[in-house]
Amino acid sequence: MQELAIKTEGLGKQYRIGGTQARYKTLRESIVDGAKAPFKRMGRLFRGEAYAGTGLHESIWALKEISFEVKQGEVLGIIGRNGAGKTTLLKILSRITEPTEGVAEVWGKVGSLLEVGVGFHPELTGRENVFLNGAILGMRKAEIENKYDEIVDFAGVDKYIDTPMKHYSSGMQVRLAFSIAAHLEPEILLIDEVLAVGDIGFQRKCFSKMDEVAYAGRTVIFVSHNMEAIRSLCTRGVWLDEGKVVYEGDATSAINLYIESFSGESAVSTIAEESHVVDSGLLRIDKVSILDSEGRATSRISYREDFSIGLEIGILGTIEKARLGIGINSPGGQRITTVHHTDKGGIPLGVPPGRYAVLARFVNDLMPGLYVISVGAHEEDSGKSLDYIPYAIDLSIIGTSKEGESPDPANHGLVDMEVNWSEVERI
């Protein structure tokens, strides 16, 4: 039977919100307050008053009744909306914070990459922090020295390795922190969404390294909003919502259920004033909608089901040649495709002031997941931007087609293109 790496039972974490943060006291003030405290409490009791602070703070549960197990060598993905409790859970498993209730048992050395700067001493150099983190993991100096060159080379910070950490950018700190966590060979690796701070090239290196760590039989827990990364890296998934486990099981099912939870999101988005990052005063896209293959408004489209995106546009001034565009992006901002209404012989927009509507029909080859739709317009000849909304509306592609077809779990990526293969021939 495979041994456990992590086990949680009835785990909960409560925080107080509201009230004011008291200033730090001197040692003398703390001693005096300690001596006065019993007399103050007695006085309140005689006057029939509650203890100080009662009722002044509201408590919230960041986590509640969290129970799950992770076997040695498993790669577990944790997903959920912002504020679901994902980072709090990793902090408890990393022993950074203690639970309010329940038990979290961890067997093995833990390496973690959580918030930027956590685990680093700002006054120490990068080199000194490498050795400090290794010592915390229980490694001998000789063991750390054997890994030192690999750590620095992977992080790409060799020029700054003898510079105090307080002078590192957030990206440099993340690169070094991940490199330390991955190369010092902890038995359990905890990775939060902090990887999003790094550049695309470094993110690819990180995902490749996480594959390598998992292949070596070590346990990985990965928190991310990148559903494709979760799908490709993780064998199991936990979906958290409002501090509770909604689903625990295989990663693909966790992702599909999480995506389907967005089905109640608005299928029609009226663009708020502050969402326009460009405002020419000549053209304004003020409403975006998503329609299924039967023309019904919905933000939830089945796998392989074609869909349409509708735009409502206000023309406010004279425009001779305008080009409308729609972009489909991953939640992390990666552009998957851009289409323009002038593609394939379309005519640039040249109409008098007024309100207009247009519909773009898409052949759906997107993999199940969450997507962000961006919309915009620019002048055909000059390229000058007339309007741009980077986050216009969300699109959810759910994991099963109307005919019951699902993507092959071995397929990774953002699109599922239909390809015709020839027969294999001897050459």
What is the secondary structure of 125-138 as a DSSP string?
BHHHHHHHHHHHTT
**Domain covering 60-262 assigned CATH 3.40.50.300 in the classification:** yes
User: Which pLDDT does position 88 carry in this prediction?
Assistant: 92
Domain spans of the chain, in order of start: 60-262, 268-398
SS3 assignment, position 19: coil
Digit-coded pLDDT (tens) for 234-258: 889 999 999 999 999 988 888 878 8
Instruction: Give residue 70's pLDDT band: very low, low, confident or very high (50, 70, 90).
Output: very high
Tell me: the pLDDT tens digits for 170-224? 888 888 888 887 887 788 988 887 666 556 777 778 888 888 887 888 899 999 8
Mean pLDDT along residues 402-423: 75
- 267, 252, 332, 335: which is closest to 300 by C-alpha? 267
What class has domain 268-398?
Answer: mainly beta
Looking at residue 411, its pLDDT comes to 64
Helices and strands per DSSP (H, E), number in the chain: 8, 19
217 and 70 in contact (C-beta within 8 Å)? no
Question: 10 pLDDT exceeds 90?
Answer: yes
Task: Give CA–CA dist 213/205, Å, rounded.
Answer: 12
- Tens-digit pLDDT profile for residues 271-324: 888 888 888 888 999 999 999 999 999 888 988 899 999 999 999 888 888 999
107-156: per-residue pLDDT in tens?
Answer: 988 888 776 666 788 899 999 989 988 887 777 889 889 989 999 998 88
pLDDT in tens, 313-361: 999 888 888 999 999 988 767 789 999 988 887 788 888 899 999 999 9
Q: Is 56 left (phi over 0), alpha (psi -120 to 50) or beta?
A: alpha
**Smallest Cα–Cα separation from 415: which of 361, 364, 374?**
364
pLDDT score recorded for residue 381: 83
**Residue 216: predicted pLDDT:** 84
Is the predicted pLDDT of residue 20 greater than 60, yes or no? no
User: Is the pLDDT assigned to residue 1 strictly greater than 70?
Assistant: no
* More confident of the two residues 67 and 194: 67
pLDDT number for residue 360: 93
CA distance linking residue 117 with residue 188, whole number of Å = 20
> CA 304 to CA 258: how far, in whole Å?
19
Q: How far is CA 391 from the centre of its chain?
A: 16
Q: Does the pLDDT value for residue 53 go beyond 50?
A: no
- Count Cα atoms within 13 angstroms, Cβ side, for 153: 6
Q: Is 317 exposed, middle or buried (0-12, 13-18, 19+ CB in 10 A)?
A: exposed
